[in-house]
Chains A and B, each alone.
Chain A
Amino acid sequence: MYAGGRQSTSNRNLATAANGSSSAAVAEVSRHAPPRSGKFPHRLNFYEQPPTEEITVEQFEEWAIDRLRLLADIESAQARNKSFEEIKVIVGERAKMYMPLSSDTARSVDVEAERKKDQYSHFVLRLAFCRSEELRARFLKVETTLFRIRFETDDLTERRRFVDSLNFGWDVVGQQEKQELRAQLAAAMRLRDEDKLGAESFFKVDWTQVTDLVSQRKVFLRAGKAYVPSKEELSLVLAEFQNRLYRGLEMTAKALPRLDEDQRLLPVLEHLSMGFQAGITSEYVFSTTGDGEEITAEMVPDLARQSFPMCMRSLEDTLRGSKHLKHEGRQQYNLFLKGIGLSVEEAIVFWRKAFKLITDDAFNKNYKYNIRHGYGLEGSRKNYSPKSCQQIITGATPGPGQAHGCPFRHYSEANLTSSLLTTYGLSGSDTKDIVSAVKSSHYHLACTRLFEIQHAKLGVAKGEGLGKGDSVDHPNRYFDRSRALYKEQREKETSEEGKVKKEEAMDIDG
Chain B
Amino acid sequence: MPGLPPHNTAVKAEDGPALDDLFADDDKPKLPSAEATLATMSDLSNPFVMLTYYRRCFPFKQLFLWLNHGQVPTRQFTHREFAMNLPNDVYIRYNSYANAEEMKKDVVRLNPARFEIGPVYSGRPKDKKVLMKNAFKPLLRELVFDIDMTDYDSIRTCCKDKAMCKRCWRFISMAVKVLDETLRNDFGFNHLLWVYSGRRGIHCWVSDPAALALSDDQRRAIVNYIEVIKGGAKQDKKVNLPRPLHPSMLRALETLNNYFPRVVLEDQDCFKDPEQWETILALLPDRKHAEELKKEFEATPSKASAERWKSLLQIKASNELTLRKHRDFVEDIKLQYTYPRIDTEVSKKLNHLLKSPFCIHPGTGRVCVPLLASQVESFDPSAVPTVGQLLMELEELARSGGSVGNGGVDDKTGWEKTSLRPYVELFEKYVEGLVKEGVRGRKEEKAESMEF
Residues of A within 8 A of B (CB): 133, 183-184, 186-188, 190-192, 207-208, 211-212, 214-217, 220-225
Partner of A222, one of B186, B189, B221, B250: B186
Q: Are the CB atoms of B247 and A215 closer together than 8 Å?
A: no
A-binding residues in B (CB < 8 A): 134, 185-189, 210, 214, 217-218, 220-222, 224-225, 242-250
Judging by beta carbons under 8 Å apart, are B246 and A225 in contact? no
* A187 engages B187 (CB within 8 Å): no
Which residues in A have their C-beta under 8 angstroms from that of B189? 224
What is the CA–CA distance of A186 and B247 in the complex, to the nearest angstrom? Answer: 9
10 tightest Cβ-Cβ pairs between the two chains A and B:
A224-B188, A211-B221, A223-B188, A221-B186, A215-B224, A184-B247, A215-B221, A214-B221, A217-B246, A187-B244
Distance to closest chain A CB from B8 (angstroms): 39
Q: Which residue of B lies closest to A223 (CB)?
A: B188
Contacts of B224 in A (CB 8 A): 214-217
B212 to chain A, nearest CB (A): 13
Contacts of B221 in A (CB 8 A): 207, 211-212, 214-215
A133 touches B134 (CB 8 A): yes
A216–B217 Cα distance when bound, in Å, is 13
Are A190 and B244 in contact, with the CB atoms below 8 A? yes
Q: Quick one: which of B185, B188, B210, B225 contacts A215, CB cutoff 8 A?
A: B225
Q: Which applies to chain B's interface (DSSP): helix, strand, loop or mixed? A: helix
Give A184 to B187 CA distance when docked, in angstroms. Answer: 15
* In contact, B248 and A217 (Cβ under 8 angstroms): yes
Residue of A nearest to B188 (CB): A224
**CB of A285, distance to nearest CB on chain B (Å):** 41
Given contacts A221-B186, A224-B188, contact A188 B247 (CB under 8 A): yes
**Nearest chain-A residue to B247 (Cβ)?**
A184
The residues of B that contact A133 with a CB separation of less than 8 Å are 134
Compute how far the CA of A191 lies from the CA of B244 in the bound complex, rounded to whole angstroms.
7
A215 to B222 alpha-carbon distance, docked (Å): 7
| 9 pairs from A and B in contact (CB 8 Å cutoff) | A188-B246, A211-B221, A214-B221, A214-B222, A221-B186, A221-B187, A222-B188, A223-B188, A224-B187
Determine how close the nearest CB of chain A comes to the CB of B24; give it in whole angstroms.
57
A contact residues around B210 at 8 Å (CB): 224
Q: Are B248 and A221 in contact (CB under 8 A)?
A: yes
Closest-by-CB residue of B relative to A213 is: B221
Q: Which of B185, B218, B243, B248 contacts A190 (CB 8 A)?
A: B243
Q: Which residues of A contact B250 (CB under 8 A)?
A: 187
Which residues from chain A contact B187 at a C-beta distance below 8 Å? 207, 221, 223-224
Chain A residue with Cβ nearest B225: A214
Known contacts A222-B185, A225-B188, A208 near B243 by CB under 8 Å: no
In the complex, what distance in Å separates the CA atom of A229 from the CA atom of B109?
A: 57
Cβ-defined contact, B185 with A223, below 8 A: yes
A207–B210 CA distance with the chains assembled, in angstroms: 11
8 extra interchain contacts, Cβ-Cβ under 8 A, other than A214-B222, A222-B186?
Answer: A187-B250, A190-B243, A211-B217, A211-B220, A215-B224, A223-B185, A224-B186, A225-B188
Structural contact, A217 and B185, CB atoms closer than 8 A:
no
**Closest chain B residue to A194, Cβ basis:** B244
Which B residue sits closest to A220, measured CB to CB? B247
Q: Considering residues A183, A192, A216, A224, which has the most beta carbons from chain B within 10 angstroms of its beta carbon?
A: A224
Q: Cα distance A133–B132 when bound, in Å? A: 14
Minimal Cβ-Cβ distance residue in A for B222: A214
A187 and B245 contacting across the interface, CB-CB below 8 Å: yes
Q: Which residues of B contact A208 (CB under 8 A)?
A: 214, 218
Which chain A residue has the least Cβ–Cβ distance from B249? Answer: A217
> Chain B residues near A224 (CB, 8 Å)?
186-189, 210
A184 neighbours in B (Cβ, 8 Å) = 247
The distance in angstroms between the C-alpha atoms of A133 and B246, with both chains bound, is 39
Q: Is the pair A187, B247 in contact by a Cβ cutoff of 8 Å?
A: yes
Residue of B nearest to A206 (CB): B210
From B250, which residue of chain A is reached at the shortest CB distance?
A187
Closest A residue to B186 by beta carbon equals A221
Kindly list chain B residues whose C-beta atoms are within 8 Å of the C-beta of A220.
246-247
| CB proximity of A463 to chain B, nearest CB, Å | 26
Docked Cα-Cα span, A235 to B134, in Å, equals 30
Q: Count chain B CB atoms within 10 A of each CB in A188, A212, A215, A225 and give the residue with the most.
A: A215
Assess A192 versus B244: contact at CB under 8 Å? Given A207-B187, A215-B225: yes
| Shortest Cβ distance from residue A247 to the other chain B in the assembled complex, whole angstroms | 16
CB neighbours of B222 from chain A (8 A): 214
* A residues in contact with B188, CB < 8 Å: 222-225
Give chain A nearest CB distance to B253 CB in angstroms.
12
Nearest-CB residue, chain B, relative to A207:
B187
CA distance A77 to B36 in the complex (A): 69
Q: A221 to B248, alpha carbons, bound, how many Å?
A: 8
Distance A190 CA – B243 CA, assembled complex (angstroms): 6
Q: Is B246 within 8 A of A187, CB to CB?
A: yes
From B189, B218, B220, B244, name the one whose CB has the most chain A CB atoms within 10 angstroms.
Answer: B244
The interface residues of chain A lying within 8 Å CB-to-CB of B186 are 221-224
> Smallest CB-CB separation from B182: which chain A residue?
A221
Q: How far is the CB of A73 from chain B (nearest CB, A)?
A: 25
Chain A residues with CB under 8 A of B243 = 190, 192
Residue of B nearest to A132 (CB): B134
Cα separation A186 to B250 with both chains bound (whole Å): 13
**B242 surroundings in chain A (CB, below 8 A):** 190
What's the nearest-Cβ distance from chain A to residue B321, in Å? Answer: 13
**Closest Cβ–Cβ distance, residue B47 to chain A (whole Å):** 42
Cα A499 to Cα B267 in complex, Å, equals: 75
What residue of chain A has the Cβ atom nearest to residue B215's Cβ?
Answer: A208
Task: Provide the residues of chain B in CB contact with A207, threshold 8 Å.
Answer: 187, 221
A208: nearest residue on chain B (CB-CB)? B218
Choose among A186, A187, A188, A216 the residue with the greatest number of B CB atoms under 10 Å from its CB.
Answer: A187
A190 to B244, CA, bound (A): 5
Q: Point out the residues of chain B lying under 8 angstroms from A214, CB to CB.
A: 221-222, 224-225
The complex places the Cα of A217 from the Cα of B242 at a distance, in Å, of 10
How distant is B16 from chain A, measured CB to nearest CB, in Å? Answer: 49
Q: Which residues from B are CB-within-8-Å of A225?
A: 188
The minimal Cβ–Cβ distance linking B437 to chain A, given in whole angstroms, is 15
The residue in chain A whose Cβ has the minimal distance to the Cβ of B226 is A217
The residue on B at minimum CB distance from A184 is B247
B246 and A215: CB pair below 8 A? no
Contacts of A217 in B (CB 8 A): 224-225, 246, 248-249
Report how far A208 CA is from B187 CA in the complex, Å.
10
For residue B228, which residue of chain A has the nearest CB? A217
Query: How distant is A170 from chain B, measured CB to nearest CB, in Å?
Result: 18
